[in-house]
Amino acid sequence: MKLQLEVDTANVAEIKQALAVLRGLLAAHGLGEGDTPTSIAARTDSPDRAIADLWNRLGENGQQLVALAATFDGPFSLATLAARTGDTPTAMKSRWANLGRSLRKTLDQFSVRVFKEHENTADGWTFVMDEGAKAAVRELSKRTTTTDNR
């Protein structure tokens, strides 16, 4: 959506009306008048917002996979994830591919790289999870679990 405003700068009522429209647009994006371009960019690219976007794109299985990945302190492989979940390596590859489709959509809006390829080993690639994304997942998992248990 694009918006063009034409305001008579000599008309205070028109200026106030335009300001109200702009305030509403800022609020719709979780922003306020005090936000600067730098603070907006930092907030938009925050791991919290990227993970919230990803979380909303995922079903329960995808959320569980991301939450499991957030438990690793270092690199992990799909084989390690499969062993932890009881999935076959083929099933885990499929789950990871499904997650990848949602991750690509999140990356269209946020520059936070949730997962990074770490090393190509004999068992396949290992991955590391962004530390900010891990913290966001842990927090979101707690809230989701608390909400589900009510």
* CATH number of the domain that residue 113 is part of: 1.10.10.10
64 and 26 assigned to the same domain: no
- Residues 28 and 50 grouped into a single domain: no
- The mean per-residue pLDDT over the stretch 102-129 comes to 89
User: Do 25 and 84 lie in a common domain?
Assistant: no
Whether residues 55 and 22 share a domain: the answer is: no
Same-domain pairing of 18 and 52: no
Same domain, 112 and 57: yes
Residue 76: domain span:
45-148
Among 55, 50, 54, 85, residue whose Cα is nearest residue 68: 85
Q: Quick one: pLDDT band at residue 149, thresholds 50, 70, 90? A: very low
Look at residue 73 and tell me if it is in a domain: yes
Model pTM?
Answer: 0.67
Predicted pLDDT of residue 30: 62
Residue pLDDT, tens place only, 2-50: 778 899 999 999 999 988 888 877 776 666 777 666 666 555 678 888 9
Alpha helices in the chain (DSSP H): 12-28, 37-44, 47-57, 60-69, 78-85, 89-107, 131-148
**Confidence (pLDDT) at 55:** 93
54 belongs to a structural domain = yes
Question: Into how many domains does the chain fold?
Answer: 2
* Same-domain status, 77 and 107: yes
Residues 6 or more apart whose Cβ sits within 8 Å of residue 118: 75, 125, 126, 127, 128
Q: Is 5 within the bounds of a domain?
A: no
Residues 66 and 95 in one domain: yes
Looking at the structure, tell me whether residues 135 and 70 fall in a common domain.
Answer: yes
Whether the Cβ atoms of residue 118 and residue 128 lie closer than 8 Å to each other: yes
Residue 82 has pLDDT above 90, yes or no: yes
Full strand arrangement of the beta sheet holding 115-121: 76-77, 124-129, 115-121
User: Would you say residue 4 lies in a domain?
Assistant: no
Domain assignment present for residue 89? The answer is: yes
